[in-house]
Chains A and B, each alone.
Chain A
């Protein structure tokens, strides 16, 4: 599979740096572009383009950190900050619009009732994405 464009979704979790490094590892041999996306999920009681200062600041910080990590790994990345009702739909639409070949999802290690919990965003992207999807699950804490 010849990768041209990888879309990485990051949510500001501790797994983000690993996913960005993985993306750069995958992108380098194929000289593929990396687009890092952070989606702010806007609650239904607010307008979709509401100015959410704290979330915007956090999003900017998350994307800035991702750009820095990629730069350290010798790769320049493009960043996008989005607001949507549903993160999965926004990721899928952006991947479709930007013609991404691969969506790389960051999956923090979380458990519910003793089992690893796969969030709805990962599930929905898996189901609805037009391209290949790779979810990177964080390793279990020792």
Chain B
């Protein structure tokens, strides 16, 4: 619009309904596409003008602080299939949450206990049994040693609690053993700790699911043969709940957590009263029989093995330190309170159950069909009693959700590692529900595979689990030891002694498990170095990419390139091809069309038609007697590239059908060509899509003409 025309509008002579364009010389280029257009409207009275702010994508983007913010509506799918999928996804996963809603996803100590306690407290469901199973090799008499072993384990637990509460205070941003080892010991030990923690989380999920299935099969033995399938299914269920978000998962799991604690406390209470009053119940025997009695002598190796097996009770204690940012403010205090609550509950339950098992004389089931806790409940409450059923039901439910801690910790640790460029970036991305969905799905897949590999046996998985946990603990302790030595805090000698003792005990446990359970621990011993190598490899790749992409200076000038040499492969003369050639001509004067024909006659005919259509655009005709289209085209592009210094630009005409299933009716040459050129250096590929609906427009245009 000219300035004169503009002036006419300015003075109110324009029609009201007709938008009037603003003068072009006001310093703003109105031709640049924008999410906000300004339409000038002349008013009813001269001089009354209005600028209407037109926002075509108002539902999709809203303004705030001079920026555009994408609203939830941008996630709305357009197609019917997309809408159905979106509906299913929302039903399963929930509505997408805005980033600011993350605060609402943070947990209080009570919800934190429900989220994190399961992995720590759940070990009470199998720690006593694991210690007794190790002692059973030396016969029934040796089972009495489970009590002093439980006391020793609880003493180590107390040491870990003090140490972990110091880790929480020192590292309020979470990351746990990884961050401690990385900061205080260096990248190498940090990565070993990270690998150990990742394995720990994977096995938390696998062990909990496997133990949960045993709790179910204690009541329904016929399900024992399907334990792998049930275990995998349960992992999928917990993963889904986590994709919905941490807080909701916590609320979902709070009931079973507190129900389990209440049921076990009731079992211990009734059992202790009966034992103390002299009314000791008769021990229930495993439903699958006692097996062959053990004959090995009680020696130091057996005790070490039993201690390391019982020390599975320590697993999960690190969870609170790893996820401090998941707590509400004050985060450090809330994380410490949660740590105290969960380890306190565990100590009471582990000691109580071990005391009862020894005093009543329960022996572990060699076939792993019924758990020691189930036999204890049968002994105390009676076979087939409501008490037994309640204990088993709550245990089963609780163990299923014990996998929860793995799902809380693994994605967060993976996100920390991804932010440090040790893991693929997808692990740091937050899903629509503000959870690290990629990490959750990866964990579910790996843990499911572990269940399948080890046949869902808790006994086979525990050594892998404990070796990873104790390795990360020992590195965390060593890191804190170094930090304390370097620091200048009060009671420095006390903390130094504490961390030194912790590091030695945990390191010894790693060696003990590696020596005594090598037949099972080999997997973890092999997996962890592999993981460390992978983490290093990922980091190296990202560093190379960063080196290649980083600008030499923040104010580096954007270079001016000369127009490229453009090649337009043309299969047939049609509207899509004409559109592609027109586009190619708009970006460069050097445009070359190429046609691959399967016979000389068809090639010659194409050449004749091309001369009529576009006499000013060079056409290279290539005859391909072997009927291959892509191979000669790629070689042709190679040859052209060698003869020209400019980057080769290939403009591809692509016909896009109206429905997805119509794709099947087309040969997808454009898609195959794009795929073939994707990794070709010095090549720019431009896709010019031709939508089926466009034909109607063209037809209308033709009619107008």
Whole-angstrom CA separation of A56 from B61 in the bound complex: 14
Contact of B48 among A64, A80, A93 (CB under 8 A): A93
Contact of A57 among B26, B43, B44, B66 (CB under 8 A): B66
The reply to whether B50 and A82 contact each other, CB–CB distance below 8 Å, is yes
| CB-nearest residue of chain B to A87 | B50
- How far apart are B25's CB and chain A's nearest CB, in angstroms? 11
* A90-B50, A93-B44 known, 19 other contacts, Cβ within 8 Å: A48-B40, A49-B38, A53-B66, A57-B63, A64-B62, A79-B58, A82-B50, A82-B51, A82-B53, A83-B51, A84-B49, A86-B48, A89-B45, A90-B43, A90-B48, A92-B44, A93-B43, A93-B48, A96-B44
- How far apart are B432's CB and chain A's nearest CB, in angstroms? 21
| CB-nearest residue of chain A to B40 | A49
B30-50 CB contacts (< 8 Å) to partner A: 38, 40-41, 43-45, 48-50
A137 within 8 A of B: no
The reply to whether B52 and A80 contact each other, CB–CB distance below 8 Å, is yes
With A57-B65, A57-B66, A97-B41 known as contacts, the answer to whether A49 contacts B50 (CB < 8 A) is no
Set of chain B residues within 8 Å of A74, measured between Cβ atoms: none
Whole-angstrom CA separation of A72 from B50 in the bound complex: 31
The reply to whether B62 and A97 contact each other, CB–CB distance below 8 Å, is no
Set of chain B residues within 8 Å of A84, measured between Cβ atoms: 48-51
B22 within 8 A of A: yes
| CB-nearest residue of chain A to B27 | A47
Whole-angstrom CA separation of A57 from B44 in the bound complex: 28
Whole-angstrom CA separation of A89 from B41 in the bound complex: 12
Set of chain B residues within 8 Å of A42, measured between Cβ atoms: 51
Q: Can you list 16 contacts pairing A with B, beta carbon distance less than 8 Å? A: A47-B26, A48-B51, A49-B22, A56-B53, A57-B63, A57-B64, A57-B65, A81-B53, A81-B55, A84-B51, A85-B49, A86-B48, A93-B16, A93-B41, A93-B44, A97-B17
The reply to whether A48 and B16 contact each other, CB–CB distance below 8 Å, is no
A138 within 8 A of B: no
Whole-angstrom CA separation of A83 from B64 in the bound complex: 18
A60 within 8 A of B: yes
The reply to whether A49 and B51 contact each other, CB–CB distance below 8 Å, is yes
Count of CB-CB pairs between chains A and B under 8 Å: 67
Whole-angstrom CA separation of A93 from B16 in the bound complex: 8
Query: How big is chain B's contact interface, by range?
Result: 20 to 34
Whole-angstrom CA separation of A3 from B16 in the bound complex: 23
The reply to whether A89 and B63 contact each other, CB–CB distance below 8 Å, is no
Whole-angstrom CA separation of A48 from B17 in the bound complex: 18
Contact of B53 among A47, A83, A93, A94 (CB under 8 A): A83
With A93-B44, A96-B44 known as contacts, the answer to whether A60 contacts B62 (CB < 8 A) is yes
Query: How big is chain A's contact interface, by range?
Result: 20 to 34
- How far apart are B43's CB and chain A's nearest CB, in angstroms? 4
- How far apart are B6's CB and chain A's nearest CB, in angstroms? 12
- How far apart are B36's CB and chain A's nearest CB, in angstroms? 8
- Residues of A at the B interface (CB closer than 8 Å) are 42, 47-49, 53, 56-57, 59-61, 64, 79-86, 89-90, 92-94, 96-97
- How far apart are B239's CB and chain A's nearest CB, in angstroms? 35
With A47-B26, A53-B66, A57-B63 known as contacts, the answer to whether A94 contacts B50 (CB < 8 A) is yes
Set of chain A residues within 8 Å of B66, measured between Cβ atoms: 53, 57
Set of chain A residues within 8 Å of B40, measured between Cβ atoms: 48-49
- How far apart are A35's CB and chain B's nearest CB, in angstroms? 12
Contact of B52 among A60, A61, A82, A89 (CB under 8 A): A82
Whole-angstrom CA separation of A60 from B71 in the bound complex: 13
Set of chain B residues within 8 Å of A85, measured between Cβ atoms: 48-49
Set of chain A residues within 8 Å of B55, measured between Cβ atoms: 81
Set of chain A residues within 8 Å of B45, measured between Cβ atoms: 89
- How far apart are B456's CB and chain A's nearest CB, in angstroms? 51
The reply to whether B52 and A48 contact each other, CB–CB distance below 8 Å, is no
Set of chain B residues within 8 Å of A89, measured between Cβ atoms: 43-45, 48, 50
Whole-angstrom CA separation of A57 from B66 in the bound complex: 7
B63-100 CB contacts (< 8 Å) to partner A: 63-66
Set of chain B residues within 8 Å of A90, measured between Cβ atoms: 43, 48, 50
Interface centre among A61, A83, A96 (most CB of B within 10 A): A83
Binary CB contact string for chain B from 295 to 326 against chain A (1 if under 8 A, 0 otherwise): 00000000000000000000000000000000
Set of chain A residues within 8 Å of B41, measured between Cβ atoms: 93, 97
Set of chain B residues within 8 Å of A92, measured between Cβ atoms: 44
Set of chain B residues within 8 Å of A49, measured between Cβ atoms: 22, 26, 38, 40, 51
Set of chain A residues within 8 Å of B38, measured between Cβ atoms: 49, 83
| CB-nearest residue of chain B to A96 | B44
Whole-angstrom CA separation of A79 from B22 in the bound complex: 22
Set of chain A residues within 8 Å of B22, measured between Cβ atoms: 49
Whole-angstrom CA separation of A49 from B37 in the bound complex: 10
The reply to whether A56 and B63 contact each other, CB–CB distance below 8 Å, is yes
